[in-house]
Structure 1
């Protein structure tokens, strides 16, 4: 049959094929560089999973993005590219919580969306089991539901974290939806649905938030904890407080806190630990 494709459409298809080939060449070149980096890291013992570095890559690409391709599509493409790079550099697997929905649990969906469809994903019956799999080295990272005020003790995985070996290193999703209710912890963006926990020290990205686990005195109320933190310049963005079996509070503050930060030593709490830090999420829609 004769080809009735208009000449202009035919030329555009040829141009798309040329661009596809160029993209493919660049992806193969990128994979070669990653393979070289992987060999160097094996010799040097450097970590392969660098969530702070990943956030910087995505922020840079989102910041320069223009045109008809949605930001979500760009993000999805690069998350798969980053996931493939992690796979190249060694055994990398993710633990998540199965929940009542099984393989379609919220944690599993978030883990797949962030770490790629081909990254091995191991589902666990409880958050503590998923957390333990990272502590034992069975998984490189655990994706755990964001803590909630009033949650059951068995769901409060943040109280069981072994610090400083395990740290919160990312908040998910990184590409965030606008806040619908207007009362979320994150002005303008929905609060994180999950956190990634790994056996590594997070990297600062320039726009970060830190999470503190505080063991206050029984008489130190939310208001007193808030006042103490605010007094040293660490005003809480949000706080979760539980009283049993041991009084504990989980607090998020602006910035990337280091262990040697002098403000921490001046706080009037029997015990305080940095649970980790994460790069601030990016909006799904460009505000420009």
Structure 2
């Protein structure tokens, strides 16, 4: 008879005692983490400016989380727990609010904000990207969440990010994308970026063009993600172009010119990490 066959199955009481032990250990680790954060606050003092949000570090943490996860606990739950821990401790270090553009729908945007930032971080609703960005511009470290998709009547809100001192796109959420994500609405996080916190795998540019039409749109669709709004003359457009890693803005503007468009202006308005998607059970970095 094998050792495994001889070993009695653990009792319910013993299993529950193990759960209690693990719960206590998890709580102790959170307390220990908070003590380290308290020391971090003392060390950092006033050395940093801009948003306390650190997208480069958070992307790294979330990717590692996905790669090491296993077992019956849904990834959604693990991701949500980690997001709340990260966002809450960030808020403890430097209090901030999340200003959300509700034009795409209150439920979807509120789900995204609560999934990624929890309930400790104040949620401030706005009807439009413009007011949300203006609130961030007037703050030291607040965030704005704006849909990363085309919304009818939204206007070219990204043009307010063009100035040197204007807020910038610093992240695209969710960090880990999948079809069944509980907060699947793609959103841009906008804030005053800290120089050492930028994740520049995907650059986001604001373009003004003339000669925009179906041909130009089809030409650059395979090269980059584009949100377009009418701008000026009947054939003018304001474009928000996310240039993926391995691609260049020059190649995209060259393609637009060959398609009959004229580039009137360009401006870098932010950057974010490459979209990280799940294909089946395996994490895969998306093309853009």
Question: Aligning the two structures, in what range does the TM-score lie when normalised by the shorter sequence?
Answer: 0.7 to 0.9
* Contact 2:141–2:192 (8 Å) recurs in 1: no
Task: Return the offset for 1:117.
Answer: 1.6
Q: Kindly indicate whether residue 244 of structure 2 is the aligned counterpart of residue 242 of structure 1.
A: no
Matched residue, 1:170 = 171
Structural mapping, 1:188-267, within 5 Å: 193-200=186-193, 201=195, 203-204=198-199, 208-216=201-209, 218-219=210-211, 223=215, 236-245=223-232, 247-255=237-245, 263=250
Task: Return the offset for 1:119.
Answer: 0.8
Q: Kindly indicate whether residue 20 of structure 2 is the aligned counterpart of residue 17 of structure 1.
A: yes
* Contact 2:108–2:185 (8 Å) recurs in 1: no
The one-character-per-residue Cα deviations of 1:182-218 (angstroms, maximum 9, x if unpaired) are xxxxxxxx9852111111155237xx322221122x2
Q: What 5-or-longer segments of structure 1 have no aligned partner?
A: 1-5, 180-189
How many pairs does the alignment contain? 259
TM-score by length of 2: 0.76
Relative distance call for 1:262 and 1:106 in structure 2 (3 A) is: closer
* Contact 1:97–1:144 (8 Å) recurs in 2: yes
Task: Return the offset for 1:178.
Answer: 2.4
* Contact 1:144–1:194 (8 Å) recurs in 2: yes
State the distance in 1 between where 2:212 and 2:83 align.
Answer: 43
State the distance in 2 between where 1:32 and 1:127 align.
Answer: 37
Matched residue, 2:116 = 114
Task: Return the offset for 1:98.
Answer: 3.9
TM-score by length of 1: 0.76
Q: Kindly indicate whether residue 123 of structure 2 is the aligned counterpart of residue 131 of structure 1.
A: no
Task: Return the offset for 1:273.
Answer: 1.3
SS of equivalent residue, structure 1 residue 160: helix
